A and B are shown apart, each in its own frame.
Chain A
């Protein structure tokens, strides 16, 4: 299957700083990538859809100025959590795939804001 690589796998940052998470499709070109957030014991929550060469589409309730998404190439999307606060601590996962096939997930990033 297709491979999606996410980096870093975990990060600890101070409150008020920004953190960038990268998501790469290693063996295919992804015009669309998806960013999810998952709190403990809860299911995946779609945050935004990242579109190559255009602005991301954010889900209702997700602050686009706080969660900056850039999809500069067909193999790379980045999520930057700006001015992070402890309530932003969560598991962030990206995925990519094809319309009629399964989604492939990155390894996930465990963000802890202290």
Chain B
């Protein structure tokens, strides 16, 4: 079967750095996506990795290792508004998105 694993919940302090991990097992791979979702809202796109390595975009960075089936989302200089759920998703060989259950990130002052 196909599955994506990420921690259910994480807590971090405002101004700090947090890393959210994601491991996946899918039939084929056509890219890994990270989305942010605030409560009661639709997900918004954060990052896309299809090749190994680190993609940096402002305070957010995403890393991929295809051989390990592993990715992480790194959030720097945390702000209170970063409190949200972070969803990891992989497109399989049919370009169908397989979703992780999401990681709820709680930012404390």
Interface residues of A (CB under 8 A from B): 1, 6, 34, 41-44, 46, 91, 93, 99-108, 110
Can you name 8 A-B residue pairings with CB atoms under 8 Å? A1-B45, A6-B42, A43-B101, A93-B43, A102-B45, A106-B42, A107-B41, A107-B42
Residue among A6, A44, A93, A105 having the largest count of chain B Cβ atoms under 10 Å: A44
Tell me how many residues of B have a C-beta within 8 Å of chain A: 19
CB nearest neighbor in B for A41: B104
Task: Write the B73-109 contact mask toward A (1 if CB under 8 angstroms, else 0).
Answer: 0000000000000010001000101011110100000
B30: chain A residues within 8 A (beta carbon):
99-100
- Identify which of A43, A93, A106 contacts B100 (C-beta below 8 A): A43
Whole-angstrom distance between the Cβ of A34 and the nearest chain B Cβ: 8
State whether the Cβ of B7 lies closer than 8 Å to any Cβ in chain A: no
Is B44's CB under 8 angstroms from A44's CB?
A: no
Is A104's CB under 8 angstroms from B100's CB?
A: no
Is B42's CB under 8 angstroms from A102's CB?
A: no
State whether the Cβ of B63 lies closer than 8 Å to any Cβ in chain A: no
A110 and B100 contact, Cβ closer than 8 Å, known pairs A43-B87, A99-B30, A102-B48 = no
Residue among A93, A102, A104, A110 having the largest count of chain B Cβ atoms under 10 Å: A102
